[in-house]
Amino acid sequence: MRNPIAVAFLSTLCAFAASYAAHAQQQQAPYQMPPDNQRCPTRWGAGDQRGSANWQSAETVLRATKLIRTGEVFELGDVLSPDPKEAFINDNRQYNIYTKPTNPIPNARSENEELIITELGQIGTQLDALSHQMWGDSFYNCFKQGEIATRYGFKKLGAELIGNLMTRAVVIDVAGYKGVDILPAGYVITPDDLKNALAKQVLAPQRGDAIIINTGFGRLLGKDNVRYGKDSPGIGIAAARYLATLEPMLVGADNCCVEVRPSEPGMSLPVHSFMLIQNGVMLLENLKLEKLVAAHVQEAAFIMQPLKLKGATGSAVAPVMIR
């Protein structure tokens, strides 16, 4: 005769195992973009082209100014240079500078200029605009490639629409929370990593903040660009979903893509798809955070002005934080 207690225990165990397996499968399922009729129009209305830049306001500026107490400025941008010992240019993008010198004129003024050939929207420390990514032929707010793409820039969602950004920045030091200088390549930052780091730092993000994530990988910029340009730590899709609930103005990190590389199994840069296309949240890549973290800066005023590159998919930027 079968023991009813044992049967009940085994049934409960099997049910738990099935539930856990289903949950694990769901967590690992590849990211899939919702259909257009489920994601458009966005929270800012049909035709919106600015996404999370809409959080920029007089309120965010004033909130940021209250954090300036010492006047100490931290520059977060990497230098632009064709020399790999000084700078990092990723994905076969280029930055070439050619000096146009003038021969000296005795006892007279002369001038010098330069010609720069580059992919200025997507090099160095860069902000991704909403035209940078599409799913199928559909962009943020369901603009279609055939309607907005031209040989000479995008008719919609260009970098010139972002404008000046000034807000409170919150630095989530995941590397510090983990007790390391640099997170290992390929490490997937989870929602718990972010929440626990915030709890350790006693920080509470607010709507419209710039959320800056320290992985430590930026320490390699200009020092070991080969290692920096390969696999890197970064947020996974679950962490991106959590960050989106915080309603940030932008999410940035000291790695090439903000998100982890290689992407999680079965996915191709899902955080870019989720943030830029689905939610209109801008991504800020290749930040220099080493001095900022060494100074134990956890929140400060954040100021950044993308270039007015009409129709561009992003902009090289030189953001600063001031405390």
- Amino acid 109: pLDDT: 93
- Number of Cβ atoms within 10 Å of the Cβ of 242: 16
Q: What is the reported pLDDT for 8? A: 44
pLDDT (tens digit, 9 = 90+) per residue, 39-58? 999 999 999 999 999 999 99
* Cα–Cα distance, 263 to 231 (Å, whole number): 9
Strand 165-173, strand 299-304: pairing: antiparallel
**Per-residue confidence (pLDDT) for residue 84, from 0 to 100:** 77
Task: Please tell me the number of Cα atoms within 13 Å of 48 on its side-chain side.
Answer: 21
First to last CA, the chain: 74
Transcribe 206-275 into DSSP letters.
Answer: -TTPEEEEE-SGGGGTTT-HHHHTSSB-EE-HHHHHHHHHT--SEEEESSSSSB-BSPSTT-SSHHHIII
Asked if residue 186 lies in contact with residue 232, where contact means CB atoms within 8 angstroms, the answer is: yes
CA 159/CA 49 separation, integer angstroms: 10
Q: What gap in Å lies between CA 123 and CA 61, rounded to an integer?
A: 27
Share above pLDDT 90 across residues of the chain, in percent, rounded to a whole number: 81
Distance from C-alpha of 208 to C-alpha of 205, rounded to nearest angstrom = 9
Backbone φ and ψ for 184, nearest 5 degrees, come out as -65, 150
Contact 215, 197 (CB under 8 A): no
pLDDT in tens, 221-262: 888 888 988 899 999 999 999 999 999 999 999 999 999 999
What are the DSSP E strand ranges found in 101-141? 113-118, 126-128
Q: 121 pLDDT exceeds 80? A: yes
pTM, 2 dp = 0.88
Amino acid at position 205, single letter:
P
- Region of 45 (left: φ > 0; alpha: ψ -120 to 50; beta: rest) is left
Instruction: Quote the CA–CA distance of 263 and 267 in Å, as a whole number.
Output: 6
Chain centroid, CA 173 distance in Å:
15
Find the mean pLDDT for residues 205-217.
Answer: 97
Q: Domain extents for the chain? A: 33-84+121-322
Place of tokens 């290689």: 262
Q: Which residue has the higher pLDDT, 4 or 295?
A: 295
**Contact call for residues 163 and 282 (beta carbons, < 8 A):** no
Residue type, 53: A
> In terms of residues, how long is the chain?
323
Instruction: Report pLDDT for 134.
Output: 96
Write the pLDDT tens digit of every residue in 261-319.
Answer: 999 998 999 999 999 999 999 999 999 999 999 999 999 999 999 999 999 999 999 99
Q: Out of 3.40.50.300, 3.50.30.50, 3.40.50.720, 3.30.1330.200, which CATH number does the structure's domain 33-84+121-322 have? A: 3.50.30.50
